[in-house]
Amino acid sequence: MSVELPADTDAVQTPEEIADLLGDLVIGREEHLNAPGFVIKPDTVVDALRRLRDQAGFDHLSCVTAEEYEDRYESIYHLTSYDDRTQEVSIVVPADKENPVSQSANEVFRTADWHEREAYDLIGIEYDDHPDLRRILLPETWQGHPLGQSYDQDQPQVVPLREHQNPLLEDQKADNDSETMYLNIGPHHPATHGVLHIKTVLDGEQVVDLEPDIGYLHRCEEQMCQNSTYRYQIMPYPDRWDYISAGLLNEWAYARTAEELADIEVPEYAQIIRTMGAELCRMAAHFLALGTFALDIYGDFTALFMYSIRDREKVQNILEELTGQRLMFNYFRLGGVVWDLPEPREEFFEMTRDFLDDLPTALEEYHDMMTSNEILQVRTVDTGVLPPEVAKSYGATGPVARGSGIDYDVRRDDPYGYYENLDWDVVTEDGCDNFSRLLVRMREVEESAKIVEQCIDLLEDWPEDERNIQSNVPRTIKPDDDTEIYKAVEGAKGELGIYIRSDGTEKPGRFKIRSPCFSNLQTLPEMSNGEYVPDAIASLGSLDIVLGEVDR
């Protein structure tokens, strides 16, 4: 190891050091499989999180999980660090059963804003000092909190279709000189990449206020997983979170969490297949991001969009050979993958190699038509600027964070699968603008290709009698009662994490999904305020959100 460590680098924090730092705030201890847990009082959340952020380097609020127990409500703040992903701590905040109120963490981490709104919406915990505690996923007139214990799913609900009000209308009356215009973008709009509604207020052509309104695709993914068994029934659902061909990446998030929870080994050979499949998925997802970005920026439906679909078709063909499906693969199993590479193997390798060989030419085309296109440069360079500190505060990850120069990638920082044995780089760009995020994605495609190529080399030479695709896994998986775990992988859009609390049965007691897009989308107002409308659209495109994952 190098002896010239920077002076301010904190050594690894032991649980005792964290306990000392939090001092008398701690009223109890818990042990989560991934991290030590500290129980604190509901009115000391800000104090505790600020100490951890400023003095122990826990600058990444990855997720907020809320749940209801028989005797209490609980919010768990999963903290980690952008510099060292393996450092994790859970702050557990119990709240009163009768009157569940907890302090908001919004003051320390701005990403807590949406996470706590979601907790309020689905579980029913109220957060003190929260700037804007409203429902976020369900309609504003919804009755009850569906993931709470006393919810009756059969009760009728009434959902209004109203005209939206200009939120700045009140201010306008005070000042007669300026006039603002309210503009609805979505929920049915070609540039919103699905069913996103953006409430925009314009002053002339400039955005003065912008608020993403989500929940138009909230299809109860967490409830579905809580109603399914670990062994087989949950696995098909992850495919449908980030459905832009990123299926295997999502499946891996569940596989990794559940395997760690139930202590299941994965054979090395299966890990290589997983790594290869996952990177192919990443490429397919990034291709679509490029294609739709071009479509958003300069309406390129005829060339670039078609090119990207062409390349996606190639990847999908490979994945179909591998998994039997074009889009919803359901290929991973706990403890491995469902079947081996297709026979004849040589043909599969050749097919994949052909695709990889064509890739440099294809990427050159992309660069010719996108990055060196003057229109695109004018629209993307220095627009939608997201400074790294802001990105961190909002919990941005994936290409969005890496486009802001944050060197953070779960694949490298908290290694899983076969990534640590392969030769590849984490791509970062320092521009912090829409163009950087685009460049990051294009360069990540190259890195993914490098990984796939190495995996194929390994698979080709793998001895025939050692092709073990699944370890021995019991037919029914029942992790111990009250075991909690939060684990993440690097999905196509960023850190995709899953929290599971087992309740001793073969179904999870609480299943919480940390979606990268949910956090990334929160940065949109920061990037767009003061910019022109088309630049706001460009920023949205550069975030590359997928609503299935935002709303879950």
Partner 1 sequence: MSSDNQQPFVTDSSKVGTETREARLSGQDNRFNSRLREAFGSSPFILTKFDKFMNWVRGSSMFMLQFGIACCSIEMMHTYAVKHDLDRFGAGVPRASPRQADVIIIPGTIVSKFAPRMKRVYDQMPEPKFVIGMGSCTISGGPFQEGYNVVKGAEEVIPVDIHVPGCPPRPEALIYGVAKLQERIANGESSPVTVKPYELEEFGDLERDEIVDQLAQEIDVEDLVMRYNWADSP
Residues forming the site for partner 1 (CB under 8 A):
137-143, 146, 151, 153-162, 187-190, 193-195, 215-221, 223-224, 227, 236-237, 240, 243-245, 288, 305-306, 309-310, 312-313, 326-328, 547-548, 551
The residue among 5 and 159 lying less far from partner 1, judged by its C-beta, is: 159
Q: How far is the CB of 324 from partner 1 (least distance, A)?
A: 12
The residue among 38 and 216 lying less far from partner 1, judged by its C-beta, is: 216
Location of structure tokens 């019991």: 474
Question: How many Å apart are CA 63 and CA 516, to the nearest integer?
Answer: 10
Location of structure tokens 């299941």: 264
Q: How far is the CB of 479 from partner 1 (least distance, A)?
A: 23
Q: How far is the CB of 544 from partner 1 (least distance, A)?
A: 13
Question: How many Å apart are CA 76 and CA 206, to the nearest integer?
Answer: 39
Q: Report the 10 Å Cβ neighbour count for 30.
A: 14
- In one letter, which amino acid is 399? P
The residue among 215 and 384 lying less far from partner 1, judged by its C-beta, is: 215
Q: How far is the CB of 310 from partner 1 (least distance, A)?
A: 5
Question: How many Å apart are CA 59 and CA 88, to the nearest integer?
Answer: 11
The residue among 306 and 378 lying less far from partner 1, judged by its C-beta, is: 306
Q: How far is the CB of 157 from partner 1 (least distance, A)?
A: 5
The residue among 187 and 534 lying less far from partner 1, judged by its C-beta, is: 187
Peptide bond into 187 cis (omega under 30): yes
The residue among 191 and 386 lying less far from partner 1, judged by its C-beta, is: 191
Question: How many Å apart are CA 536 and CA 529, to the nearest integer?
Answer: 8
Residue spans of alpha helices (H) in 300-381 = 304-323, 345-366, 374-380
Q: How far is the CB of 47 from partner 1 (least distance, A)?
A: 36
What b/e readout covers 291-311, taking b as 16+ CB neighbours within 10 angstroms? bbbbbbbbebeeebbebbeeb
The residue among 141 and 372 lying less far from partner 1, judged by its C-beta, is: 141
What does the DSSP assignment read for 463-478?
-GGG---B----SS--
CA angle 227, 237, 472 (to 5 degrees): 85
The residue among 14 and 157 lying less far from partner 1, judged by its C-beta, is: 157
Are residues 144 and 220 in contact, defined by beta-carbon separation less than 8 angstroms?
no
The residue among 36 and 187 lying less far from partner 1, judged by its C-beta, is: 187
The residue among 297 and 455 lying less far from partner 1, judged by its C-beta, is: 297
Q: How far is the CB of 240 from partner 1 (least distance, A)?
A: 6
- DSSP label of 39: E
Residue 125, CA distances (Å) to 108, 266, 437, 502, 507 in order: 19, 38, 36, 21, 24
- In one letter, which amino acid is 543? L
**What phi and psi, each to the nearest 5 degrees, are found at residue 283?**
-65, -45
Q: How far is the CB of 245 from partner 1 (least distance, A)?
A: 7
Q: How far is the CB of 81 from partner 1 (least distance, A)?
A: 34
The residue among 94 and 146 lying less far from partner 1, judged by its C-beta, is: 146
Q: How far is CA 246 from the centre of its chain?
A: 12
Q: How far is the CB of 348 from partner 1 (least distance, A)?
A: 20
Q: How far is the CB of 356 from partner 1 (least distance, A)?
A: 20
Question: How many Å apart are CA 286 and CA 545, to the nearest integer?
Answer: 11
Q: Report the 10 Å Cβ neighbour count for 21.
A: 17
What does the DSSP assignment read for 41-65?
-TT-HHHHHHHHHHHH---EEEEEE
The residue among 39 and 195 lying less far from partner 1, judged by its C-beta, is: 195
The backbone region for 339, taken as left when phi is positive above 0, alpha when psi lies in -120 to 50, beta otherwise, is beta
Q: How far is the CB of 347 from partner 1 (least distance, A)?
A: 20
Residue 422, CA distances (Å) to 111, 246, 273, 410, 417 in order: 33, 21, 13, 15, 10
**Assigned token pair, 182:** 């309210």
